[in-house]
Amino acid sequence: GEDVEQSLFLSVREGDSSVINCTYTDSSSTYLYWYKQEPGAGLQLLTYIFSNMDMKQDQRLTVLLNKKDKHLSLRIADTQTGDSAIYFCAESRMDSSYKLIFGSGTRLLVRP
């Protein structure tokens, strides 16, 4: 199937770490992405990871990939109120296109 699944909602306190999880189904996916969508805004690319990597760190963001379990996670360290948004994971299918298959998005609420 084409499902990419994410939990719908996560609430954390400011300063804590947030971990957003995603599972995907297509083992042929080559790249996995995290996008952020703030209210009324477009999709902002946060980071991506190649499928032969286990981990990628970019400032406050850490992406972990477990290819065996088809599980992807995004950790945001020292979460700030400005991080409140919807986070989408997406997989890239290398068929005739690099179209993205998106999860349903996880709404992150950061409480002061």
Partner 1 sequence: DSGVTQTPKHLITATGQRVTLRCSPRSGDLSVYWYQQSLDQGLQFLIQYYNGEERAKGNILERFSAQQFPDLHSELNLSSLELGDSALYFCASSAREGGQETQYFGPGTRLLVL
Which residues are at the interface with partner 1 (CB under 8 A)?
A: 30-31, 33, 35, 41-45, 48, 50, 88, 90, 92, 95-105
What CA–CA distance (Å, rounded) separates 92 from 109?
27
Least distance (Å) between residue 96 CB and partner 1: 5
What CA–CA distance (Å, rounded) separates 45 from 61?
12
How many CB atoms sit inside 10 A of residue 85's CB?
A: 20
The β-bridge partners of 40 are: none
Q: Which CB sits closer to partner 1, 51 or 73?
A: 51
Least distance (Å) between residue 112 CB and partner 1: 28
What CA–CA distance (Å, rounded) separates 109 from 101?
24
Q: Which CB sits closer to partner 1, 51 or 84?
A: 51
Q: Which CB sits closer to partner 1, 83 or 91?
A: 91
